[in-house]
Amino acid sequence: MIENKDPIKSDNLTARLIEAIVNGEYPPGSKISEPELARVFDVSRGPLREAMMRVESLNLVERVPHVGARVVTLSLDKLVEIYAVREALEGMAANLACKYITDAEITVLEDLLNRHQSHIEQVDGASYFYQQGDFDFHYLIIQASKNHQLIALLCDQLYHLVRMYRYQSPRSHARPEKALYEHFAILNAIKARDPELAEMLMRRHIKNSRLLIENELLEE
Amino acid sequence: MIENKDPIKSDNLTARLIEAIVNGEYPPGSKISEPELARVFDVSRGPLREAMMRVESLNLVERVPHVGARVVTLSLDKLVEIYAVREALEGMAANLACKYITDAEITVLEDLLNRHQSHIEQVDGASYFYQQGDFDFHYLIIQASKNHQLIALLCDQLYHLVRMYRYQSPRSHARPEKALYEHFAILNAIKARDPELAEMLMRRHIKNSRLLIENELLEE
DNA sequence: ATCAACAATATTGTCAACAATTGTGGTTTT
DNA sequence: AAAACCACAATTGTTGACAATATTGTTGAT
């Protein structure tokens, strides 16, 4: 049993910082004070700054020289842009998944969607559980593409911002029945090894989410 | 006249490190020693490590805890993956450019391609100048998409690796006449505000480059 | 001679203090 | 009273030293 404790403060800090920012512990726009955070995480400013540099590379904070770092504010415009990129990249992922997905991965996806099905019938509506489940579905498809550059770009770069948004407005994405239906359709296309259809369905699925956001944007 | 000297060592270092790695000053696979680099760049290890963290986020170096960092070795497989992602993203950029490109940007692109035309007729072949020109063309199209997330992903993340590859094997991409012809076709589609055509042509253009790489891969 | 254990060396990870810059509050001036 | 200026405080940027870990070289045993 390899423990892989990873006792390196700087590395662990990065993950903890990401999580803290994504789940709103440090709200958008708020200033991040190095001395304060160093106290909170019980490290010195050295490793903390190294972690901050990485978090900055993820576009989760914005730094101004000699002034400091602030948590990014996720405007709806920015989010629409992100969803447009997701459309292209996850469409591509669905396409590739048709070729490279394994039977084992298909089984995992089927189990996941079946659990969602029964969960929705019981709870009847959006819930934290389903939110996470939606991410799981997309992550699995992305992984199944087997393109490591694509996986890194989506999972390590874009998805933190998407998760951050959903923490902020958890109910705006609430169209669980329709989304689940679309998930089933995508999975079916992948099982049928139909790349064009899978890509088209995935693009439309994400486009539908994007349209919800754009509607929010119009209501202001 | 704003000087914007940006005297922050950590920030400047990042750019210098990127350039040094991309142009092969530190060859792929070579170990990066913190004390040595600190001497070379005349800074202490603190800022250097901060820069290293950012360079690591760009996937230009790979770090192992307590062991050190090495410049990434760009395998052909990895490169093919990158080009596949470029196909999706730059296709999207060409598509969006049709809607958002300005007349001024079109003029810049036309001038650029005309210079390439006369340059190729004179020098008759691939040259460093044309290599840079190819990048300029793609950068301009990407910028014209006006999607900042897309721009950041391509220019700040992927393109460093692409440039690194071209420095390594500068002649494998030598198909300047055909590439220039394709560039003109893409620009014409954008000028005609035909998103589907522009996207298709851009995807095919990048796909052609990818096929060259895949052929190299088969020859081994 | 080959391999294993151990000591020495070098490198990475971390810390606390110092330097440089920015923001703030009060004072002065118009 | 409003604006400009100056000094103070706080924060960021940087440095050099210390601690922890990995690599190297050496010794000794089989």
Residues with CB under 7 A from strand D: A 7, 31-36, 45-46, 49, 63, 65-69; B 7-10, 43-47, 50, 66-67
Whole-number Cα distances in Å, B184 to A219, B109, B135: 42, 9, 15
The answer, yes or no, to whether residue A2 has pLDDT greater than 60, is no
Give the model's pLDDT for residue A97: 98
- Best of B11, B13, B53, B63 to mutate (most A CBs within 10 Å, chain A): B53
Which residue of B lies nearest to A9 if distances are taken between CA atoms? B65
The answer, yes or no, to whether residue A81 has pLDDT greater than 90, is yes
Q: What confidence tens digit (pLDDT) does each residue in B171-193 have?
A: 666 677 888 999 999 999 999 99
Give the model's pLDDT for residue A3: 44
Beta-carbon separation of B65 and A8 below 8 A: yes
B70: enclosing H helix or E strand: strand B68-71
Q: In this structure, is the CB of residue B66 within 7 Å of any atom belonging to strand C?
A: yes
Where does chain A show beta strands of DSSP type E? 31-32, 61-64, 68-71
Give the model's pLDDT for residue B2: 37
Going by C-beta distance under 8 Å and a sequence separation of 6 or more, which residues neighbour residue A74?
A28, A161, A164, A165, A168
Residue B98 distance to chain A (closest CA, Å) = 16
Which residue of A lies nearest to B49 if distances are taken between CA atoms? A50
Neighboring chain A residues of B89 at a CB cutoff of 8 Å: 85, 88-89
Between the CA of B209 and the C1' of C22, what is the distance in angstroms? 50
Of residues A56, A81, A157, nearest to B148 (C-beta): A81
The pTM score is 0.92
Instruction: Count Cβ atoms below 10 Å from residue B199 Cβ, excluding itself.
Output: 24
Q: What confidence tens digit (pLDDT) does each residue in A37-65 have?
A: 999 999 999 999 999 999 999 999 999 99
Beta-carbon separation of B85 and A65 below 8 A: no
Indicate the pLDDT class of residue B216, thresholds 50, 70 and 90. Answer: confident
The answer, yes or no, to whether residue A79 has pLDDT greater than 80, is yes
Whole-number Cα distances in Å, B201 to A87, A102, B194, B207: 19, 32, 11, 10
Neighboring chain B residues of A8 at a CB cutoff of 8 Å: 65-66
Q: What confidence tens digit (pLDDT) does each residue in B19-63 have?
A: 999 999 999 999 999 999 999 999 999 999 999 999 999 999 999
- Best of B85, B142, B148, B150 to mutate (most A CBs within 10 Å, chain A): B85
Q: What is the mean pLDDT of chain A?
A: 91
Indicate the pLDDT class of residue B3, thresholds 50, 70 and 90. Answer: very low
Mean pLDDT confidence for B74-89: 96
Residue B58 touches partner A, C-beta closer than 8 Å: yes
Q: In this structure, is the CB of residue B5 within 7 Å of any atom belonging to strand C?
A: no
Q: What confidence tens digit (pLDDT) does each residue in A101-157 have?
A: 999 999 999 999 999 888 877 766 556 667 788 899 999 999 999 999 999 999 999
Give the model's pLDDT for residue B219: 76
Q: Which residue has the higher pLDDT, B134 or B187?
A: B187
Q: How far apart are CA B142 and CA B134, in angstroms?
A: 13
Residue A155 touches partner B, C-beta closer than 8 Å: no
Portion of chain B with pLDDT greater than 70, in percent? 90
Beta-carbon separation of B78 and A149 below 8 A: yes
Whole-number Cα distances in Å, A150 to A35, A51, B143: 36, 24, 21
Q: What are phi and psi of B64, to 5 degrees?
A: -120, 130
Residue B62 touches partner A, C-beta closer than 8 Å: no
Q: In this structure, is the CB of residue B35 within 7 Å of any atom belonging to strand C?
A: yes
The residue type at A41: F
Residue B100 distance to chain A (closest CA, Å) = 14
Beta-carbon separation of A54 and B53 below 8 A: yes
Task: Return the minimum-mean-pLDDT range out of A36-40, A44-48, A167-171, B144-148.
Answer: A167-171
Give the model's pLDDT for residue B4: 47
Beta-carbon separation of A56 and B54 below 8 A: yes
Mean pLDDT confidence for A69-96: 96
Portion of chain A with pLDDT greater than 90, in percent? 75
